[in-house]
């Protein structure tokens, strides 16, 4: 049963708290300003849009417009006159006449922070990293996703794309229209200066980028010169005739990070390598078109989450700028050693896989996690595909994997 343990009116309005005891005897403390800010009553939280209507900053905190001290005093008085009680196992905060907030025990537990009483929410599948051996197992033993069964198989397909960082869709008509249809089922097609929708190109240098040539392209992620690189990419080879080559290679950077982390646990120089890769910003540019020059220098090669998981990789040796973002966090020697080691690992055949794309078989992959490369080729090769937004992919995937009420309760 929920009960009130204590109420502490501190000197500052921002530090006044209430401590409650939840089922099982666990105690947790909330700041009164936090509870007022996060009231879940329909007058405070729009029942349909799930957006906050209440505004503590322009409401109670600004009731006295004659300075911070008076505003603080005014709200502190409001809090000291407020009443708190447990009613039908809910915490009721009566801030003033006609204004009350009610919080269920479930809400209090799932939003507790001092201390946190809930386990971390996992609405997305756990990543499964792979090397060349594991890739073969995943592809040969896993489910086959066929175009005629879309969209019924879409939830499982998207879960696999997220889990492994790639997926194949087979028996797709070798057309732009079908490629667009598959793209839009997975996410939203992101327009770029290359193309406003699904792109379609051959080696005609229609754009000043090596992708539009017959040259081989080393392992890379796309769009490193943007602040927001494409979340996913989709490839569909429509035709390759009168020639050979053009094989695709992909490598799982999440696996490479595991390898580097293991090495860094045993060797100081690899520890420095990991630090360089995760902390030193590296600049990238795209300046082939006369009308535009894209450049950014804010991000390291590997952006890691607070829990130490890879969030995003940015790597393209062709697009790497000579300018070092200042101030340098490491010596130039340590930076080059780290880049050399990273490049060696992503081009190690035990880590990457190589295969031929073919008409009717779409490859979709996580452009923040999986690097791709292309061998040089001869003949006529026509490839179409798309850049897909990551946020929309993740939002749809959460919708597939988790009950909506559970999702809303975790916001
Ligand atoms: Fe690319």
pLDDT at 61: 67
- Ligand 1 midpoint to CA 209 (Å): 10
Q: What is the mean pLDDT of each run of 10 residues along the chain (411 residues)?
A: 93 90 93 94 90 83 65 79 94 86 94 94 93 97 96 96 98 97 97 89 79 90 96 97 95 98 97 98 92 93 94 97 94 98 98 98 98 95 96 96 87 86
pLDDT at 29: 98
- Ligand 1 midpoint to CA 316 (Å): 9
Would you state the torsion angle of the CA atoms of residues 255, 258, 260, 264, taken in this order, to the nearest 10 degrees? 180
How are strands ordered across the β-sheet holding 232-241? 145-146, 166-170, 362-366, 232-241, 380-388, 199-201
Q: What angle do CA 218, 165, 315 make, to 5 degrees?
A: 30
- Ligand 1 midpoint to CA 372 (Å): 6
- Ligand 1 midpoint to CA 318 (Å): 11
Q: In Å, how far from its chain's centre is CA 377?
A: 34
Phi and psi for 392 in degrees, rounded to 5?
Answer: -70, -35
- Ligand 1 midpoint to CA 408 (Å): 37
Phi and psi for 74 in degrees, rounded to 5?
Answer: -65, -45
CB 299 within 8 A of CB 282: yes
- Ligand 1 midpoint to CA 189 (Å): 16
pLDDT at 7: 95
**Burial label, 119 (beta-carbon count in 10 A; 0-12, 13-18, 19+):** exposed
Place of tokens 């990070």: 257
| pTM beyond 0.75 | yes
CB 339 within 8 A of CB 216: no
Sign of CA dihedral 396, 397, 399, 400: positive
**305 in helix, strand or coil?**
coil
Q: In Å, how far from its chain's centre is CA 97?
A: 44
* Residue 202: how many other CB atoms lie within 10 Å: 15
CB 87 within 8 A of CB 100: no
Of the candidates 235, 171, 179, 278, the residue with the CA atom closest to the CA atom of residue 367? 235
Q: What angle do CA 302, 306, 311 make, to 5 degrees?
A: 35
- Ligand 1 midpoint to CA 363 (Å): 13
Phi and psi for 107 in degrees, rounded to 5?
Answer: -65, -45
- Ligand 1 midpoint to CA 73 (Å): 59
pLDDT at 78: 81
- Ligand 1 midpoint to CA 373 (Å): 7
- Ligand 1 midpoint to CA 249 (Å): 11
* DSSP, res 315: -
- Ligand 1 midpoint to CA 222 (Å): 5
- Ligand 1 midpoint to CA 371 (Å): 8
CB 208 within 8 A of CB 189: no
- CA–CA dist 350, 47 (Å, integer): 52
pLDDT at 241: 93
Structure tokens of 358?
A: 């073919």
* Residue 381: how many other CB atoms lie within 10 Å: 22
- CA–CA dist 23, 68 (Å, integer): 39
- CA–CA dist 203, 213 (Å, integer): 4
- Ligand 1 midpoint to CA 164 (Å): 19
- CA–CA dist 93, 101 (Å, integer): 5
Angle at which helices 390-401 and 154-164 cross, to 10°: 120
Domains of the chain by start residue, with CATH: 3-119 (3.30.2020.30), 124-411 (3.60.130.10)
């Amino acid at each position: 049963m929920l009960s009130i343990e204590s109420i502490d009116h501190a000197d500052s309005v921002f530090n006044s708290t209430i401590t409650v005891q939840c089922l099982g005897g666990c105690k947790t403390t909330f700041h009164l300003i936090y509870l007022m800010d996060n009231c879940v009553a329909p007058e405070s939280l729009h029942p349909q849009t799930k957006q906050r209507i209440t505004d503590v900053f322009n409401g109670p905190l600004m009731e006295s417009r004659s300075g911070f001290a008076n505003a603080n005093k005014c709200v502190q008085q409001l809090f000291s006159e407020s009443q708190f009680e447990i009613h039908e196992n809910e915490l009721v905060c009566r801030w003033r006449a006609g204004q009350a907030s009610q919080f269920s025990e479930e809400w209090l537990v799932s939003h507790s922070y001092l201390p946190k009483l809930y386990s971390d929410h996992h609405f997305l599948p756990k990543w499964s990293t792979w090397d060349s051996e594991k890739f073969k197992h995943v592809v040969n033993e896993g489910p086959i996703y066929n175009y005629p069964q879309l969209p019924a198989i879409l939830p499982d397909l998207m879960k696999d794309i997220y889990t492994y960082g790639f997926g194949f869709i087979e028996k797709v008509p070798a057309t732009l229209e079908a490629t667009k249809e598959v793209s839009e089922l997975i996410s939203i097609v992101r327009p770029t200066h290359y193309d406003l929708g699904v792109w379609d190109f051959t080696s005609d240098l229609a754009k000043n980028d090596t992708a539009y040539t017959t040259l081989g392209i080393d392992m890379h992620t796309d769009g490193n010169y943007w602040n927001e690189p494409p979340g996913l990419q989709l490839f569909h080879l429509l035709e390759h005739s009168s020639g050979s080559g053009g094989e695709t290679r992909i490598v799982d950077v999440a696996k490479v990070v595991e390898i580097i982390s293991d090495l860094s646990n045993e060797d100081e120089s690899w520890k420095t390598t990991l630090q360089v890769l995760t902390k030193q910003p590296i600049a990238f540019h795209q300046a082939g078109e006369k009308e535009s020059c894209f450049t950014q220098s804010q991000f390291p090669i590997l952006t890691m989450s607070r829990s130490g998981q890879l969030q995003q990789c940015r790597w393209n040796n062709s697009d790497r700028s000579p300018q070092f973002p200042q101030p340098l966090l490491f010596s130039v020697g340590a930076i080059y050693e780290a880049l050399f080691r990273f490049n060696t690992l992503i081009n190690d055949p035990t880590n990457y896989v190589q295969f031929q794309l073919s008409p009717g078989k779409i490859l979709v992959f996580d452009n923040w996690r999986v690097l791709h490369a292309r061998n040089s080729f001869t003949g006529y090769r026509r490839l179409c595909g798309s850049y897909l937004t990551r946020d929309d992919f993740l939002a749809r995937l959460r919708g597939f994997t988790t009950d909506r009420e559970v999702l809303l309760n975790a916001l």
